[in-house]
């Protein structure tokens, strides 16, 4: 009698597992992917479903990835490292899998493994510079290997900062008081880098009223510098040119608010005393003759 009554319970474990599998499949079919659950910070559900999915298919790189990340979020670092290693093996999001693998290893104080994974992540294209600020890396943040990895990542993520062509006009950067040839105030100008050093933004305020802004960038296709200027009175200037022997020289068209256009050319040169000379000429006869349109000397403001 004992053995007969016990028989129905032999299959309870498999039945429960089958029920979980069906429930998981139904939930995923309803549109809740592992990524959806992870973004909703439902980490326990990600872990449960990730374990089921990887149990069914050990080659499911996506399931290993989100399982590893959820384990990482819940402090299960050893299991997280193991899961993320599987994601790496399946080549799922190679850069991100390796980065999170590095975080898991770092939490476990496995410095060599963390640095190896981090180096591989950067080589695979992990460009999120803020990712390397993760506190998990604090234990070896000042090590030469980590600093080298961080520098290589920054060079990949912000290439313009490391390309000398984009740095040719850096002498113009800063906050400036601009004076005329006679020393009279002409205005204030602020030149700042933007887009990770790929462009310069000029913000001009004239002493006589009015203002203007320009975007200045190097075009790698033409190997030329470009300036696009718009002022508060409706005028615009478009210039193209290059840097040579300490001088940035550009030429183009100045369109006035009434729609008239004249040729214009300008130059910027850093002087030996740290000032910058800006000189503009315009032509009313298509370049046959030129007249001085503006000449100013840039002096760094007190806040500089």
Average pLDDT value for residue range 48-64? 97
Query: What's the rounded Cα separation, in Å, for the pair 282 and 263?
Result: 6
**What integer pLDDT is reported at residue 61 of this predicted model?**
97
**What integer pLDDT is reported at residue 45 of this predicted model?**
97
**Tokens at 91, concatenated:** 């080549």
Question: Residue with structure tokens 């979020």?
Answer: 73
Query: What's the rounded Cα separation, in Å, for the pair 53 and 61?
Result: 10
Average pLDDT value for residue range 145-151? 98
Query: What's the rounded Cα separation, in Å, for the pair 103 and 117?
Result: 9
**What integer pLDDT is reported at residue 48 of this predicted model?**
97
Buried b (16+ CB within 10 A) or exposed e, 251-267: bbebbeeeeeebbbbbe
Average pLDDT value for residue range 161-183? 97
Average pLDDT value for residue range 152-161? 96
Question: Residue with structure tokens 């800063």?
Answer: 174
Closest CA to 162 of 175, 153, 173, 171: 153
**What integer pLDDT is reported at residue 7 of this predicted model?**
41
Mean pLDDT of the chain: 91
Average pLDDT value for residue range 40-44? 97
**What integer pLDDT is reported at residue 106 of this predicted model?**
98
What DSSP character marks residue 291? E
Contact 90, 83 (CB under 8 A): no
Q: What are the tens digits of pLDDT across the range 189-247? A: 999 999 999 999 999 999 999 999 999 999 999 999 999 999 999 999 999 999 999 99
Those residues whose C-beta lies under 8 Å from the C-beta of residue 235, and which sit 6 or more positions away, are 254, 255, 256, 257
- The structure's pTM equals 0.76
Q: Grade residue 11 by pLDDT with cuts at 50, 70 and 90.
A: very low
Q: pLDDT at residue 4 above 50?
A: no
Give the helix ranges, DSSP H, for 57-93.
Answer: 61-73, 77-89
**What integer pLDDT is reported at residue 207 of this predicted model?**
96
| Residue 5 burial (CB count, 10 A) | 8
Beta bridge partners of 191: 174, 202
Query: What's the rounded Cα separation, in Å, for the pair 81 and 153?
Result: 22
Q: Can you list the domains of the chain with their CATH numbers?
A: 2-159 (1.25.40.10), 164-300 (2.40.128.20)
What DSSP character marks residue 200? E
Those residues whose C-beta lies under 8 Å from the C-beta of residue 148, and which sit 6 or more positions away, are none
Beta bridge partners of 217: 199, 226
**pLDDT-above-90 percentage for the chain:** 89
Q: What are the tens digits of pLDDT across the range 61-92? A: 999 999 999 999 999 999 999 999 999 999 99
**What integer pLDDT is reported at residue 6 of this predicted model?**
38
Query: Helix or strand or coil: residue 275?
Result: coil
The helix or strand, by DSSP H or E, that contains position 175, with its residue range, turns out to be strand 174-179
Distance of CA 190 to the CA centre of its chain: 23
Answer with the residue of higher pLDDT: 4 or 178: 178
Q: pLDDT at residue 131 above 60?
A: yes
Distances (CA, A) of 22 to 27, 54, 126: 9, 15, 37
Query: What's the rounded Cα separation, in Å, for the pair 206 and 151?
Result: 40
Let me know the angle formed at the C-alpha of 283 by 279 and 285, rounded to the nearest 5 degrees: 165
């Amino acid at each position: 009698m004992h053995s007969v009554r016990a028989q129905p319970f032999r299959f309870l474990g498999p039945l429960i597992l089958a029920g979980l599998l069906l429930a998981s499949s139904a939930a995923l079919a309803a549109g809740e992917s592992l990524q959806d659950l992870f973004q909703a910070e439902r980490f326990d559900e990600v872990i449960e479903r990730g374990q089921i999915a990887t149990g069914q298919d050990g080659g499911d790189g996506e399931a290993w990835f989100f399982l590893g990340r959820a384990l990482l979020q819940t402090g299960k670092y050893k299991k997280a490292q193991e899961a993320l290693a599987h994601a790496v093996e399946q080549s799922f999001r190679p850069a991100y899998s390796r980065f999170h693998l590095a975080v898991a290893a770092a939490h476990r104080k496995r410095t060599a493994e963390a640095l190896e994974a981090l180096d591989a992540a950067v080589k695979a294209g992990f460009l999120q510079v803020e990712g390397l600020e993760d506190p998990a890396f604090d234990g070896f943040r000042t090590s030469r290997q980590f600093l080298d990895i961080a520098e290589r990542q920054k060079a990949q993520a912000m290439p313009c900062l490391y390309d000398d062509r984009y740095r040719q006009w850096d002498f113009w950067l800063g906050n400036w008081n601009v004076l005329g040839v006679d020393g009279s105030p002409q205005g204030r100008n602020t030149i700042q880098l933007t887009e990770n050093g790929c462009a310069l933004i000029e913000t001009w305020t004239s002493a006589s009223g009015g203002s203007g802004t320009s975007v200045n960038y190097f075009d790698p296709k033409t190997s030329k510098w470009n300036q696009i200027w718009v002022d508060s009175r409706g005028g615009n200037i478009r210039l193209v040119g290059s840097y040579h022997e300490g001088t940035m020289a550009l030429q183009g068209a100045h369109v006035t608010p009434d729609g008239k256009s004249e040729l214009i050319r300008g130059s910027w040169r850093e002087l030996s005393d740290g000032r910058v000379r800006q000189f503009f000429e315009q032509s009313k006869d298509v370049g046959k003759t030129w007249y001085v349109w503006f000449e100013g000397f840039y002096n760094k403001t007190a806040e500089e």
